[in-house]
Structure 1
Amino acid sequence: MIKYAIALLFSVSLLNAQQNVNEAQIKVNVGDVFEIGKPETNTYKHINFPRANFIIKRGGIANYKRAQGEKVMVTSIKEKKDGTTLVKIKRTDGNRFFGSHTTVSVDFKEALASGELEVL
């Protein structure tokens, strides 16, 4: 019986150690530069680009494919109560996203995990 208890404790400790290794986080600071990657689907889930009708109302062109490969800089960081990190980004060349919006918010950890935001 003691062998089973030891085996159970050993397996639980291994699973806990693996979980800690997977949660290695990239620290983000204001001024860090990233690149917008290709989304898994047709739309971006974790980069909160405005909907097409809001872009058009402000005089922009709603072409989400042009956002791929753009270098962006972090302007502000906000930790939410649920543990997510909300980051605001702007383009490094000074232009606007879609010709209408200067900054866009991003769920940082999820965007990195899905490949929507890439480290340079």
Structure 2
Amino acid sequence: MDAFNLQLQNVSLRFQVQDLQSQINALKLSQNNTANIQLSSEPDEKLPIQRCRWTFQEDQLLLQLVRTHGLTCYKTLAKHMEGKKPSQVYFKLRHLKQLYETHKDDTRVYNMNKKWFQYFKSCNC
């Protein structure tokens, strides 16, 4: 059984193939320039994950767009944000909402995310 590390633009995962056809498919995937697959003998070898980074300006623009279009219009929000995908917008908003729900009484976290926390409080969402 061979192990493969797969790294796409923003995703890194590890999988094992148990038959020859799966191994051939994995190698074909690595050759079509959409992924980088490497044979690995190390079972716990980790590849660095590239995370989506948000600048302060993007964060402020997202807040403005959310106030205009609402929290659930990920495609619309992403359309107005150059270089962002709907899934990235979704995960950013989910992270901020979870942060609000778990840290709304923490002054330090509140001050770092004040405008978002005020928005979540005002919309009761």
TM range, normalised to the smaller chain?
Answer: under 0.3
Larger RCO: Structure 1 or Structure 2 (Cα < 8 Å, ≥ 6 residues apart)?
1
Structure with the higher strand share, 1 or 2 = 1
Structure with the higher helix share, 1 or 2 = 2
TM-score, reference length from structure 2: 0.21
